[in-house]
Amino acid sequence: MNNYLSKLCRTIPILAILLSGNLYSQVDTDFPKLYEIDLPGAKFIQEKYYDGGGLWGHINGGADLYLEYGFDKLLFQEIEWQGNSFRVEFYRMNDAEAAFGIYSINHYKCTYEDTLTKFICIAPYQVQSALGRYYVSIANAKGGRIADSLNVEIFHQVLSKVDEKLFELPLEIVKQNYTPAELSKLKFVKGVLGLQNIFPEWIGALENFKHYKLFALSIDIEGKKNGVIIFDNTSDYDSFIKNNREDILTKLYPFVTKSE
């Protein structure tokens, strides 16, 4: 029995180390996560990480769209602060373009156009932003002046932790000198699911192409919606122009181009 106990004692520390390693591997220090010191008096209810395979467990049917844009990992934090409950989500995408894409299709009816950062939507119950590779969503369950103000305070803390190069809009969009209010409506699509959800009228024209980027504004200019389609190669660009000149191009977007 003594020999058995001796072996068991030697085994338990090793097992504990292995288990500790597995638990620690779930933590990703690259996220601009929040800590108790950032929000004095806050109570952190839960914290979870999700990879591509587990994303469906967090957002159900919406996961496929994130994966289409290029999803890497999600950090979810649930926080209670000053009598309010907050859901803070950090979606780390493959690059800044993908993060902007997810941000663009998720936000709408922004109440405030703030200058805290380039891409931000402040609305009742929620603050959303594209911060480099991160699409950030901060939402409260109660709403109202105090809770919405705390949303912004939480975002300030997140912003202070981010050192990311922000997404640059295509030159074709920048040259149009749209107002901030107009640019807040800009949507970015580069796949079938995005087309189905945002611009179903474009499915027929783009369903046979895989390497393109569609930036579109839901505003009318000279009777047309406005935006730009950028194709990755000349052959796709030529094919699109040939097949759609009299149909799509004359009704919707004036700009179709190809990557340099």
User: What digits encode the pLDDT tens for the residues 124-162?
Assistant: 999 999 999 999 999 999 899 999 999 999 999 999 999
Instruction: Categorize the per-residue pLDDT at 199 as very low, low, confident or very high, splitting at 50, 70 and 90.
Output: confident
For residues 93 and 133, the answer to whether their CB atoms sit within 8 Å is yes
Residue 131 lies in a domain: yes
Stretch (H or E) spanning 216: strand 212-221
Q: How far is residue 209's CA from residue 53's CA, in Å, rounded to a whole number?
A: 26
Of the given ranges (42-46, 105-109, 231-235, 252-256), which has the lowest mean pLDDT?
A: 252-256
**Is the same domain home to 155 and 81?**
yes
Please indicate, yes or no, whether residues 85 and 63 belong to a single structural domain of this protein: yes
Together in a domain, 34 and 157: yes
Judgement on whether residues 52 and 95 belong to the same structural domain of the protein: yes
The helices-and-strands tally (H runs, E runs) of the chain is: 10, 10
Residue 256: closest CA among 202, 218, 220, 219: 202
Residue 123 burial (C-beta neighbours within 10 Å; 0-12, 13-18, 19+) = middle
Contact 225, 136 (CB under 8 A): no
- pLDDT, greater one: 15 or 103: 103
The parent domain of residue 85 ranges over 30-161
Task: Classify residue 17: in a domain, yes or no.
Answer: no
Same domain for 44 and 99: yes
Task: Check: pTM over 0.85? Answer yes or no.
Answer: no
The phi, psi pair for 81, rounded to 5°, reads: -150, 125
If asked whether residues 73 and 146 sit together in one domain, one would say yes
37, 140: one domain: yes
45: tokens are 């209810």
Strand ranges of the sheet holding 126-131, from the earlier edge strand across to the other edge:
43-50, 71-81, 84-93, 134-140, 126-131, 120-123
Query: Over the stretch 164-175, which tens digit does the pLDDT of each residue have?
Result: 999 999 888 888
In this structure, the answer to whether residues 138 and 185 fall within a common structural domain is: no
Q: How many domains does the chain have?
A: 2
Does 18 fall in a domain?
no
Residues in contact with 239: Cβ distance below 8 Å, sequence separation at least 6, in sequence order:
209
140 and 178 belong to one structural domain: no
Q: For position 176, what pLDDT does the model report?
A: 79
Note whether residue 60 is domain-resident.
Answer: yes
- Say how many residues make up the chain: 260
One domain for residues 110 and 211? no
Query: Are 157 and 58 contained in the same domain?
Result: yes
Place of tokens 């994130």: 66
